Chain A
Amino acid sequence: MPLETTATPASNGAAPARAPKGVAVKPGRHREASLYHALAGAGAGDGRSLAELREAALRAFEQSELPVWRRSGFWTTSFEELEDELLEPDEHLGKIDPTEPATEMRIPEFVRSSLPQRPHAGRIVQDGAAVVHVELKPELAERGVILCSLEEAAQEHETIFHEWYCRRLTIDRHKLEAANAAFWSGGVFLYVPDSVVVEDPFEIVYAISGPGAAQYGRTLVVGGRQSDFKVHEYDLADDFVGGQALHAGAFEMYLQDGARCRLAQVQDWGTGDVFDASTRFVGVGRDAYCHWLPALLGGHLARHHLELAVTAPGGDMAFRGLFFTERDEHLDTFAVDLHETGPSGGDVHWRGAATGQSRASFEGLIQIDPGAQKTHTYLQIHTMMLSPKARLDAIPSVLVSADDVSASHGGTVGELDEASIFYMASRGLDRPAAVRLLVEGFFEPVLGQLEDEPLEELVRERIAAKLARARDDIEAYATAR
């Protein structure tokens, strides 16, 4: 007897059914977790060429409105304020000539100063609509590793591109997803062949330099059998003024049998009006493993759909993440821990904080499909409020359709602890220093899991900078209580 449980009132415990391939789910307004269909792609295996997929996406784009995500009683994430001109890709494609040879000098200064100084296996940078820089260690190229723009991959590595492109990502759930699938340019393709082990990370950068940029970024990563590698993605923008910019992102990673990947993402869009609507899918194959850690550090309006799926027996994953919003930022994260088969393992641990008047909402879903027996997974989400005007919601949900599994969730909602602040003050630490220690200590159980000193340092610095900017808010919060 299949067992169905759900932890949230808004979740109706519907049986998880996959939408058939190629059939458009009605675009427009979404209430995903209340009736969740796992991502089911439109590309690989349905026989359509890239041009046909772009055409189909364009039709979906034209027929749909800007997306609004509602979680009744909790939050609404609306992209309706996005200006029309950001939905006209051709204009922006011309801004950087993609035929010009990429060079290091074309990496924007704010990106160069942000990236940690550390050895890397390869680096690819997209600024706005075009890839401006690609580098790959020659010895890795010799061993068959491919790192190039996705545009180039579609032409030069057609077979492998078509085998995987859009295998699980949809192209028509909402207008911005359709826009990405129709208009994407530049893009990133990384292929690590069977049995290739790479110690240093591959760095992928999506940069937005100013207002008016419409970045339809698209990444495809394929890890061959028994390959072992690291991917660090940076989504960064200059602190610009004077208009909106858009990042509509799509990311897909497929780990074949026995492949292992540590995937980290630092997303910090800065103070400019950056809108980000992105979907990311990671498929973990037979006996493969993925450790995925997004650090979502805010943007004007960001909606992340993150799906980590065990697609074959023996797959295992750790899904850790942190988020921290400030000022009037709005962040909406939907993180799915999906088990399509068993035995499989999962370990989901998220931590989030909010200052200023920001709004951070997180929904974590464990979904265990029918037949995914012997799956063991756990979801925990901890949040910390740092301002009287911020709002933070965290909803864990569990949808289970198998009976020989363990799946549970837990979490805490916290505030700054005045007793701890007094304790530290009695040792000579002033309030800002004490708060910083508390917040860093709060994030540490996730941050430390990056297991990468330069990256940890970068995230710590950005958290500290956010705290420094939020000093008055934090003070106000203390005196208001």
Chain B
Amino acid sequence: MADLEITNLHVRTEDREILRGVDLSIDKGEIHALMGPNGSGKSTLANTMLGHPSYEVTEGKIVFKGQDITEAEPHERAKSGLFLAFQYPVSIPGVSVANFLRMAINAKRQEPIRVKEFGEHLQHAIELLDVDRAFTSRHLNDGFSGGEKKRAEILQMAMLSPDVAILDETDSGLDIDALRTVAEGVQKLHDEQGLGALIITHYQRILHYVKPEFVHILMDGRIVLEGGVELVERLEREGYDQIRQEVSAGAA
């Protein structure tokens, strides 16, 4: 069994069913890409994996490291090693990046992290993501630019060392330099810490900098196509419409 195993996942919000039977397996150390057009259910899947209260799982299950976490509280999922980099990170006024990181790290530990250890850890992450040290004393996401918010997400990911991270459209709204920094950060965490990642994206751009081994295409709440990196190239050539036609022809 894979570290993260999603089986026949059906999810609805108050007004409609969004995911209609998703199967997905991710192991630590693997990089997956989940692609799909707008409205296909990508963000729903990301949020459901972390237990967002607005999404109701009506069928199927999520098993992480052998534990069924389908009904687990969001903070318990995080503590067991899942991470979500948000598409739209919220700002937390009055709380500095560094203080927030320290609290998040301590939430996963019995003993609070030592100041020196935290400092070294933070320094490493800062260098990895090419951010200014002053960045960490600013209030989390408060007044951050789009690029700064995404860097702060990856900085948190680096500090929290999850087993599997879900990156929900981390590439959207980034200029090419920020995109490269963020993508290279993910690649390094994969290489250094054996991070497993599910990179959710609408576009191919980020996949030029971080190479997925597995690619899944989500349409209308189902994974309709799976393969390797060659799928990204095909998508670039043909676009979602072409693939949609083929899939519906195949299904008919």
Contacts and interface: CB of A to CB of B under 8 A. Distances in A.
Nearest to A420: B90
Interface stretch (A293-301, A302-310, A442-450): A442-450
Interface residues of B, number: 27
A425 interface: yes
B107 A427 contact: yes
B95 A428 contact: no
21 contacts: A418-B53, A419-B90, A422-B74, A423-B86, A424-B104, A425-B51, A425-B73, A425-B74, A426-B86, A427-B104, A427-B156, A427-B160, A428-B79, A428-B104, A429-B75, A431-B75, A437-B92, A440-B94, A441-B94, A441-B95, A441-B139
Given A433-B103, A437-B103, A426 B50 contact: yes
Contacts of B51: 425
Given A428-B78, A428-B107, A430-B75, 15 more contacts: A417-B90, A422-B53, A423-B89, A424-B92, A425-B50, A426-B75, A426-B78, A427-B75, A427-B107, A429-B104, A433-B107, A437-B95, A437-B100, A437-B103, A441-B95
Contacts of A425: 50-51, 73-75, 78
B95 A423 contact: no
A427 B74 CA distance: 9
B112 interface: no
B234 interface: no
B12 interface: no
Interface in B95-125: 95, 100, 103-104, 107-108
Contacts of B103: 429, 433, 437
Contacts of A433: 103, 107
B244 interface: no
Nearest to A439: B94
Given A433-B103, A437-B103, A426 B92 contact: no
Contacts of A422: 50, 52-53, 74
Interface residues of A, number: 23
A431 B77 CA distance: 13
B93 interface: yes
A440 B95 CA distance: 8
A446 to B, nearest CB: 10
B64 interface: no
Report the 3 A-B pairs with minimum CB-CB distance, sorted nearest first.
A441-B94, A444-B94, A425-B74
A428 to B, nearest CB: 4
B235 to A, nearest CB: 29
A441 B78 contact: no
A431 B139 CA distance: 20
Contacts of A102: none
A277 B214 CA distance: 70
Contacts of B90: 417, 419-420, 423
A430 B107 CA distance: 8
B53 A426 contact: no
A39 interface: no
B108 A428 contact: yes
A194 to B, nearest CB: 40
In this complex, the member of B75, B103, B139 whose beta carbon has the largest number of chain A beta carbons within 10 angstroms is B75
A425 B104 CA distance: 9
A433 B73 CA distance: 14
Nearest to B93: A441
Contact of B73 (A417, A418, A430, A443): A430
A429 B105 CA distance: 9
A424 B53 CA distance: 13
Interface string A397-429: 000000000000000000001111011111111
Contact of B94 (A418, A427, A442): A442
A428 B93 CA distance: 19
A44 B231 CA distance: 88
Contacts of A68: none
A299 B52 CA distance: 38
Interface string B22-52: 0000000000000000000000000000111
Given A422-B52, A433-B107, A428 B75 contact: yes
A200 B53 CA distance: 50
A136 interface: no
Contacts of B73: 425, 430
A426 B83 contact: yes
Nearest to B104: A427
B218 interface: no
A441 B91 CA distance: 11
A438 interface: yes
Nearest to B157: A427
Contacts of B79: 428
B94 A426 contact: no
A431 B75 CA distance: 8
Contacts of A417: 90
Interface string A154-187: 0000000000000000000000000000000000
Interface string A82-98: 00000000000000000
A433 B75 CA distance: 10
In this complex, the member of A420, A422, A427, A437 whose beta carbon has the largest number of chain B beta carbons within 10 angstroms is A427
